[in-house]
């Protein structure tokens, strides 16, 4: 059933909603959440005083600082798109610890996903400092 709202049932108990009330500046409004992050595909803006274009909103990419370590390209555009999606998926799951799903309530460092994606992450990114810190975190628990 279409309700006009973004589907959020799959988020389970994760609170992935920010409410910002416009301050009335006709030149620019700026809001960036602090002490949280949201993995998202869609954004819903309600109650804006005028029609907004998608270019009126800027999403900020947040992830751990990992440098690119390798690159691969293919003659087939589909494979290049898969690699591009893989890189963005990996980065969106690197937030101090390797996470499972940045959009749901599983934003915790679960060792199963870290083990499965470690080879891919090391191939694509400089992960030495990240994994050293992560392993230190595990040893500290």
Distance, CA of 66 to CA of 69 (rounded, Å): 9
**What integer pLDDT is reported at residue 27 of this predicted model?**
83
- pLDDT above 90 for 32: no
pLDDT tens for each residue of 65-99 = 999 998 899 999 999 999 999 999 888 888 888 88
Q: Identify the band that residue 103 occupies on the pLDDT scale cut at 50, 70 and 90.
A: low
HSE-CB of 49 using CA atoms within 13 angstroms: 7
The answer to whether residues 107 and 101 touch, using CB atoms and an 8 Å cutoff, is yes
Using DSSP, state whether 81 is helix, strand or coil: helix
The answer to whether residues 40 and 94 touch, using CB atoms and an 8 Å cutoff, is no
Higher pLDDT among residues 121 and 26, named by residue: 121
Token reading at 41: 């595909």
**What integer pLDDT is reported at residue 138 of this predicted model?**
85
Q: Where are the beta strands (DSSP E) in 1-141?
A: 94-95, 97-98
**What integer pLDDT is reported at residue 77 of this predicted model?**
97
Radius of gyration, alpha carbons of the chain: 18
């Amino acid at each position: 059933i279409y309700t006009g709202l973004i589907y959020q049932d799959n988020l389970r108990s994760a609170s992935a909603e920010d409410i910002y009330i416009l301050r009335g500046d006709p030149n620019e409004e700026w809001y960036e959440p602090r002490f949280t992050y949201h993995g998202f595909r869609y954004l819903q803006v309600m109650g804006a005083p005028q029609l907004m274009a998608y270019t009126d909103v800027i999403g900020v990419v947040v992830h751990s600082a990992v440098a690119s370590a390798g690159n691969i390209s293919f003659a087939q555009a589909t494979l290049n798109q898969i690699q591009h999606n893989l890189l963005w998926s990996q980065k969106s799951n690197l937030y101090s610890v390797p996470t499972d799903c940045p959009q749901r309530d599983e934003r915790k460092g679960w060792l199963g996903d870290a083990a499965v994606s470690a080879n891919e992450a090391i191939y694509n990114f400089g992960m030495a400092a990240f994994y050293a810190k992560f392993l230190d975190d595990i040893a500290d628990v």
